[in-house]
Amino acid sequence: MARKDCFSYSDKNEYTLEIPVELAEKIERKSRKGSVPRNSSGKKPFNFMLIIRVLALAVFIVAAVMLAKRIYEYTKDIRYSEAQNRSIAVQSYTGPEVEKRETPVYPEFEGKTVETGRFDYPQITDSEKLTQFSLAYPDFVLWMFIDNSYVNYPVVQAENNEYYLRRNMDGEDNIAGTLFMDYRSDSADLRGHTIVYGHNVQNGTMFGLLKLYLNKSYYDEHSVIYTYNKDSVTMWKIFSAYETDTENYYIDTYFPTEDEYDSFLRKLKSDSAYDTGVEVDSGDDILTLSTCFLYSKANGRFVVHAIKTGVTPLN
């Protein structure tokens, strides 16, 4: 027995071909095997693996774009900071060879009385350049420098503690923001409790290296902070460094009595990850550097506290 099947040999389908039943069935089986299987309704089944591959590719592309954007933002931030440094002729971070005058070692000062005479400090700028910078940026209050670190930045102060969180000094969107002083702090005389905030940037810029103060050896080599304005240089000696969170209100700036201020300072010192050997009491003005530290706590912070140990005119 043979079964007739029709094969098109021309557009008019005018020829037919007789083939054996066995061969016809074999051809049909191969045809079914090569085709996409269908369910009972005749529709193609849902291809989960294809959807998973597409989603994975989409996630990869989005992650790559986000990473590229972050790298671009970091690079732009660094270039922006370097341009600011050049504008006031300060030295950019270059490692251990940063030129630095010999610095008096605490506690060479008499007691803890703030010295008004001259002391040695890193020569990174001068009064004329900082005056020009102040005219260009009205919110600028001081320049902060920690030798042999990335902390070599301007500090601004706004009417609140949000404006410069994600803005540069020109008011443009900037993922790293700008170092900014708490709006409650006394930017003119740096009396009482002065607080400066900055981001914990992963590439180490801004306040990204503050967490290294968890190590006493790092503290030993970076225990002095310098702040510059157009008239003077202030030296600060770090007395405490530690990890905490927002439940600890270390940013208090108002103290009704001297005893309350003294208790506040003693707590800051006792919270330190190690004993710095630097004493502090209610007669001291202090500087706090604060940054996010989200490695072990949801609202984690890393904090460095320093006392004012000297003020001298800026050359």
The mean of the pLDDT values for the chain is 78
Residue 155 lies in a domain: yes
Q: Per-residue confidence at 103, pLDDT binned at 50, 70, 90?
A: very low
One domain, residues 250 and 113: yes
Residue % of the chain over a pLDDT of 70: 68
55 within some domain: no
Same domain, 164 and 255: yes
Which DSSP helix (H) or strand (E) runs through 86? helix 48-87
Is there a single domain that holds both residue 111 and residue 235? yes
d(CA 152, CA 225): 10
The answer on 140 and 6 residing in a single domain is no
How many angstroms separate the CA atoms of 3 and 128, rounded? Answer: 104
Could you give the number of structural domains in the chain?
A: 2
Residues 264 and 155 placed together within one structural domain of the fold: yes
Q: Is the pLDDT of residue 102 over 70?
A: no
73 or 153, which is more confident?
153
User: Is the per-residue pLDDT at 167 higher than 50?
Assistant: yes
- Residue 56 forms part of a structural domain: no
Question: Is residue 111 in a domain?
Answer: yes
Question: Which is more confidently placed, 156 or 122?
Answer: 156
Which residue matches tokens 């540069």? 168
Residues 22 and 167 in one domain: no
**Residue-level pLDDT at 289:** 97
Confidence of residue 294 (pLDDT cuts 50, 70, 90): confident
Cα 246 from Cα 168, distance rounded (Å): 25
| CATH code, 160 | 2.40.260.10
Question: Do 125 and 256 belong to one domain?
Answer: yes
The range of the structural domain enclosing residue 7 comes to 2-29
Q: What is the largest CA-CA distance in the chain?
A: 120
In a domain, 60, yes or no: no
- Please check whether residue 63 lies inside any domain of the structure: no
- Average pLDDT on 230-234 reads 91
21 and 113 together in one domain: no
Whether residue 123 sits in one domain with residue 271: yes
Q: Which of 187, 282, 278 lies closest to 236, judged by CA? A: 278
Q: Please indicate, yes or no, if residue 65 is contained in any of the structural domains.
A: no
pLDDT tens for each residue of 2-13 = 444 444 444 555
Q: What is the mean pLDDT of residues 203-208?
A: 83
Q: Per-residue pLDDT for 1 more than 70?
A: no
Q: Select the more confidently predicted residue: 108 or 166.
A: 166
Tokens of 226: 């310098």
Lowest mean pLDDT among 33-47, 131-145, 216-230, 270-284: 33-47
Q: Same domain, yes or no, for 291 and 213?
A: yes
Any domain includes 133: yes
